[in-house]
């Protein structure tokens, strides 16, 4: 990896809005964008298709080595088939957080994630971008919101997409995913020591984007 290439990491819990913020910051700066959660979602989908249990660490890691994963603009391809909306379901979110506990899989995905670090720069969003994947990033943001606000945002997203949504179920799922992501042994969701905390309960998306851009201006 070339340490001269600037990297902004945006980590945080599910449905915190970090994906939206990270994408807009990347667009604004003309940087590349890594949605690392999509990688875990793709692995959840591929292993499900191959009848591999999400508890089977070795088989998941082996399977993930043979996957052809491509991102073209906003589209995601698995073995040349578009899976953009297939990986965005609640089921694949849950599956992603189950496969993501396994260290052998996380090791396989390191190289793929490092390959996104290209000039003129990268905005990387996930759970361990600042702690494990890009520990030398000059700007690390930990973006979060209260569980209730995150559940409401997720509920609204599903309603907007005309999908079935149940607030209590969404809240329960978020609490389960938070607990699994925070308590796993390998690369748990944790704020890096040198990250800045961005609480978004009372912020609009553009306020959050401007906060990150403003912080970044201080590094250049």
- Does residue 177 belong to the site contacting ligand C5P (CB under 6 A)? yes
Taking the complex as a whole, how short is the minimal distance between the CB of residue 187 and ligand C5P, in angstroms? 7
For residue 154, state whether it binds ligand C5P (rule: CB under 6 A): no
43 vs 205: CA distance, rounded Å: 29
Among the listed ranges 20-28, 70-78, 123-131, 141-149, the one in contact with ligand C5P (CB under 6 A) is 123-131
Which SS3 state, helix, strand or coil, does residue 168 take? Answer: helix
Q: Is 105 in the site for ligand C5P (CB under 6 A)?
A: no
Q: Which residues contact 130 (CB under 8 A, 6 or more apart)?
A: 9, 11, 137, 140, 141, 142, 192, 194, 195
Q: Is 134 in the site for ligand C5P (CB under 6 A)?
A: no
Q: Which of 59, 128, 131, 145 binds ligand C5P (CB under 6 A)?
A: 128
Sites for ligand C5P among residues 6-25 (CB under 6 A): 14
Q: Which is nearer to ligand C5P, 29 or 181 (CB)?
A: 181
Is residue 37 close enough to count as binding ligand C5P by CB under 6 A? yes
Interface with ligand C5P includes 93 (CB under 6 A)?
Answer: yes
Cβ proximity to ligand C5P: between 108 and 214 the closer is: 108
Q: Cβ(84)–Cβ(42) under 8 Å?
A: no
Q: Name the residue with tokens 């990896």.
A: 1
Contact with ligand C5P (CB under 6 A): which of 21, 25, 46, 96? 96
Which residue in 181, 192, 200, 212 binds ligand C5P (CB under 6 A)?
181
In angstroms, the CA 70 to CA 77 distance is 5
- Length of the chain measured in residues: 220
Residue with Cβ nearer ligand C5P (43 or 59)? 43
Using alpha carbons, select from 64, 69, 66, 65 the residue that is nearest to residue 80. 69
Q: Phi/psi of residue 151, each to 5°?
A: -65, -40
Contact criterion met (CB below 8 Å) for 10 and 141: yes
**48 vs 67: CA distance, rounded Å:** 13
End-to-end CA distance of the chain: 20
Contact status, residue 98 vs residue 180, Cβ threshold 8 Å: yes
> What is the size of the binding site for ligand C5P (CB under 6 A)?
14
User: Judged by CB under 6 A, does residue 173 bind ligand C5P?
Assistant: no
Binding status of residue 76 toward ligand C5P by CB under 6 A: no
* Contact with ligand C5P (CB under 6 A) among 6, 8, 21, 36: 36
**Interface with ligand C5P (CB under 6 A):** 14, 36-37, 40-41, 93, 96-97, 100, 126-128, 177, 181
């Amino acid at each position: 990896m070339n340490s001269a290439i600037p990297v902004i990491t945006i980590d945080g819990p599910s449905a915190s809005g970090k994906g939206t913020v990270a994408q807009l910051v990347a667009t604004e700066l003309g940087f590349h964008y890594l949605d690392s959660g999509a990688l875990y979602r793709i692995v959840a989908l591929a292993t499900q298709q191959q009848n591999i249990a999400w508890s089977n660490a070795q088989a998941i890691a082996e399977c993930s080595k043979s996957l052809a994963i491509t991102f073209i603009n906003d589209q995601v391809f698995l073995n040349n088939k578009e899976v953009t909306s297939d990986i965005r379901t609640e089921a694949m979110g849950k599956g992603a957080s189950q496969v993501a506990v396994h260290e052998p899989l996380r090791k396989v995905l390191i190289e793929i994630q490092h390959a996104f670090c290209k000039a003129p720069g990268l905005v990387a969003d996930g759970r361990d971008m600042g702690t494990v994947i890009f520990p030398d990033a000059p700007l690390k943001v930990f973006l979060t919101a209260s569980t209730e606000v995150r559940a409401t945002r997720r509920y609204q997203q599903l309603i907007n997409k005309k999908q079935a949504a149940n607030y209590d179920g969404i809240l329960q799922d978020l609490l389960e995913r938070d607990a699994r992501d925070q308590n796993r042994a390998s690369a748990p969701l944790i704020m890096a020591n040198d990250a800045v905390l961005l609480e978004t309960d009372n912020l609009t998306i553009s306020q959050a984007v401007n906060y990150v851009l403003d912080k970044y201006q201080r590094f250049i």
